[in-house]
């Protein structure tokens, strides 16, 4: 197993420095839980957190803004590919993109406040996160699931893979259960209790480029549509190009839902991500 120079440099950094892994909850499409946590620790990650806490913070802020501005039309800005697509093809709608950073950026910002000396590495299914990381400067490296899997294979053959005593196979604090379905199309609406603030006809959910274009046309034509929740990849993040799995979108969705349901039985205790932990954290895009 060979790695390119960039990935070898990242692996060496992970192995030598204090590094936090931000793991996208769609990981269950490609990896077993909790085995993935052990694998990440064995190649050198100091802390491993899921993006479910930042998703919870985003939900609260979206809910607040929609409730406070009842005449404004909003586009959810969670997906960097959607944001870029709108900026390039529908620049007149840039003003409608919510001024809320993505789950990756917010979680990185939060962890940097808690652990300022740590390096931040995002691991997920998305190529666009690489560009987003470069632009925001709050994430040091963004890797795909395929890249991290290649790292595991390389590390085992080249002395970077080290088992330890009393290994921790759980996430390190700041996580949540119900937002584990965030990588699925429509999950923002499902986890945000939109029924309290929006009628069904005031919201459009779309995934995949063809459906996105249709949704945007409806959004532009109908001022009664107040919230547009879109993910660029078909099926949502579980259809991302950085995923290894060849399963159908439906099978991938089932894995995420099963993971969410199983996690409900976990005792989060002190690891639960409470809102008060991020009281002074900026959620803005820039």
Would you say residue 147 has pLDDT above 90? yes
- The Cα 141–Cα 7 span in angstroms is 10
pLDDT tens digits, one per residue of 174-211: 777 789 999 999 999 999 988 889 999 999 999 999 99
Q: How far apart are CA 95 and CA 103, in angstroms?
A: 20
Q: Of 87, 69, 71, give the one whose Cα is nearest residue 79.
A: 87
Q: How many Cα neighbours within 13 Å face the side chain of 192?
A: 25
Q: Could you tell me the residue ranges of all domains in the chain?
A: 5-278
Percentage helix, strand, coil for the chain under 3-state DSSP, each rounded to 5: 50, 15, 35
- Separation between Cα atoms, residue 176 and residue 13, nearest integer Å: 28
Which residues have C-beta within 8 Å of that of residue 220, sequence separation ≥ 6?
Answer: 93
pLDDT tens digits for range 66-96 = 999 999 999 999 999 999 999 999 999 999 9
Give SS3 for 120.
Answer: strand
């Amino acid at each position: 197993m060979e790695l390119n120079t960039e990935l070898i440099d990242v692996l060496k950094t992970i192995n030598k420095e204090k590094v936090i892994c931000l793991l996208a909850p769609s990981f269950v499409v490609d990896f077993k839980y909790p085995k993935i946590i052990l694998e990440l620790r064995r190649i050198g990650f100091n802390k491993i957190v899921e993006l479910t806490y930042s998703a919870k913070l985003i939900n609260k802020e979206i809910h607040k803004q929609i409730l406070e501005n009842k005449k404004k039309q909003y586009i959810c800005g969670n997906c960097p590919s959607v944001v870029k697509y709108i900026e390039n093809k529908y620049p007149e709608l840039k003003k409608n993109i919510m001024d809320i950073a993505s789950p990756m950026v917010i979680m990185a910002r939060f962890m940097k406040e808690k652990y300022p000396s740590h390096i931040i590495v995002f691991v997920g299914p998305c190529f666009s996160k690489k560009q987003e990381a470069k632009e925001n400067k709050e994430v040091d490296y963004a890797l795909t699931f395929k890249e991290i899997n290649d790292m595991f294979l390389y590390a085992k053959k080249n002395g970077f893979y080290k088992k330890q005593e009393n290994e921790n196979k759980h996430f390190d604090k700041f996580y949540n259960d119900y937002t584990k379905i965030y990588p699925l199309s429509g999950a923002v609406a499902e986890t945000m209790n939109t029924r309290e603030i929006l009628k069904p006809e005031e919201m459009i959910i779309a995934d995949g480029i063809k459906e996105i274009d249709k949704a945007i046309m409806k959004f532009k034509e109908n001022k009664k549509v107040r919230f547009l929740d879109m993910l660029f990849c078909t099926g949502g993040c579980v259809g991302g190009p950085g995923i290894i799995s060849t399963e159908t979108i439906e099978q991938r969705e089932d894995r995420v839902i099963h993971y969410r349901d199983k996690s409900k039985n976990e005792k989060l205790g002190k690891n639960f991500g409470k809102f008060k932990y991020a009281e002074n954290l900026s959620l803005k895009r820039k």
